[in-house]
């Protein structure tokens, strides 16, 4: 029997997975210093933002915004690096202007916008399960965290690093993320490139407590290859007028997976394969 295309896609994507994937293989432990030292990421899987899904103005010029990414693990922590080309760095080349939607955007509280600025976001669904159109739970099973170039929980306004992500309106999620940052369960370095025109982010995610594949059980290579849900966001603010017509006057926000308005739903994520061996 010939299946209708929509049915075939649903079956082949296994309950809604977006058809884009990466593999994280074992490698050496990088130093989180915001510098891509020679050979440091040579054993990582590489990727770019080509074909990513725009939420706001589409990215058409790689000098305006582009990305080369890296991913690997060392048996205890998952590592990402992002080498971002960006022609204008918000809060460095521009004033720290505020969005009309939230004059408290830079407060380091649940009222702020942690993702407001030049930033990367990681979203993981460690169980790779969902019930419907829900977003991240805000714990080790599924989460969304932010690394901002010009503000952070540990460094405050002006210093890049990690911030509590979504759902920040849920107090338990906020408290979990806050604890992860302060204890180093997740760690991140974010620095402008020498001479400007971009920045480097290096990000570490501890398997325990951040990759809870089953209740109370965290992934290790001893468990073999494992498929988890993944999404990544690349956010870009420039001068306010360059984002006219977009929410928050964002210039760009490009996503690894998902549709324009549903990309934070767990069933819209792509796939990250945690590989036990090379």
> Over the stretch 222-234, which tens digit does the pLDDT of each residue have?
999 999 999 999 9
The pLDDT tens digits of the residues spanning 15-52 come to 337 999 999 999 999 999 999 999 999 999 999 999 99
CATH class (in words) of the domain with range 24-178+186-274: mainly beta
Rounded average pLDDT over 102-128: 98
Say what the pLDDT of residue 29 is.
Answer: 98
44 in helix, strand or coil? coil
Separation of alpha carbons 70 and 80, rounded Å? 5
Task: Let me know: does 71 contact 44? Beta carbons within 8 Å.
Answer: yes
* pTM for the full predicted model: 0.93
Report, in this order, helix, strand and coil percent for the chain, each rounded to 5.
15, 35, 55
- The stretch 170-186 carries a mean pLDDT of 98
Q: pLDDT grade, residue 269 (50/70/90)?
A: very high
pLDDT at 255 > cutoff 60? yes
Residue 167: cis peptide before it, omega within 30 degrees of 0:
yes
Question: Minimal CA–CA distance to 144: which of 164, 172, 119, 116?
Answer: 164
Domain edges within the chain: 24-178+186-274
Any residues with CB less than 8 A from the CB of 66 and at least 6 apart, and which? 48, 49, 59, 84, 85
Distance CA 192, CA 77 (A): 24
Amino acid 23: pLDDT: 98
| Higher pLDDT, residue 147 or 5 | 147
Query: Given this model, what pLDDT does residue 231 score?
Result: 98
What is the mean pLDDT of the segment spanning 108-117?
A: 98
Strands 21-24 and 270-274, by their bridges, are parallel
Q: What is the mean pLDDT of the chain?
A: 93
Secondary structure of residue 22 in the 3-state scheme: strand
């Amino acid at each position: 029997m010939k299946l209708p295309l929509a049915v075939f896609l649903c079956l082949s994507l296994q309950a809604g997975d977006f058809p884009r994937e990466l593999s994280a293989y074992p490698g050496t432990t990088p130093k989180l210093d915001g510098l891509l030292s020679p050979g440091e990421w040579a054993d990582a899987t590489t990727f770019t933002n080509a074909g990513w899904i725009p939420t706001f103005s589409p990215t058409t010029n790689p000098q305006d915004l582009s990305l080369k990414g890296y991913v690997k693990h060392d048996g205890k922590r998952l590592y990402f690096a992002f080498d971002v080309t960006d022609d204008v760095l918000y809060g460095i080349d521009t004033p720290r202007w505020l969005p009309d939607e939230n004059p408290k955007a830079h407060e380091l509280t649940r009222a702020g916008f942690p993702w407001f600025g030049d930033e990367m976001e990681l979203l993981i669904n460690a169980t790779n399960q969902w019930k419907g159109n829900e977003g991240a739970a805000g714990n080790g099973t599924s989460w969304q965290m932010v690394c901002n170039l010009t503000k952070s929980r540990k460094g405050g306004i002006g210093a890049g690093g990690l911030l509590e992500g979504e759902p920040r309106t849920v107090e338990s999620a906020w408290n979990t993320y806050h604890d992860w940052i302060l204890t180093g369960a997740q760690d991140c370095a974010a620095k402008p490139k020498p001479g400007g025109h971009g920045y480097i982010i290096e990000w570490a995610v501890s398997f325990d407590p951040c990759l809870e594949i089953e209740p109370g059980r965290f992934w290790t290579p001893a468990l073999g290859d494992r498929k988890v849900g993944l999404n990544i966001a690349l956010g870009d603010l420039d001068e306010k007028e360059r984002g006219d017509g977009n929410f928050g006057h964002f210039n760009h926000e490009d996503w690894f997976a998902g549709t324009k308005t549903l990309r934070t739903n767990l069933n819209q994520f792509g796939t990250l394969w945690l590989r036990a061996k090379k």
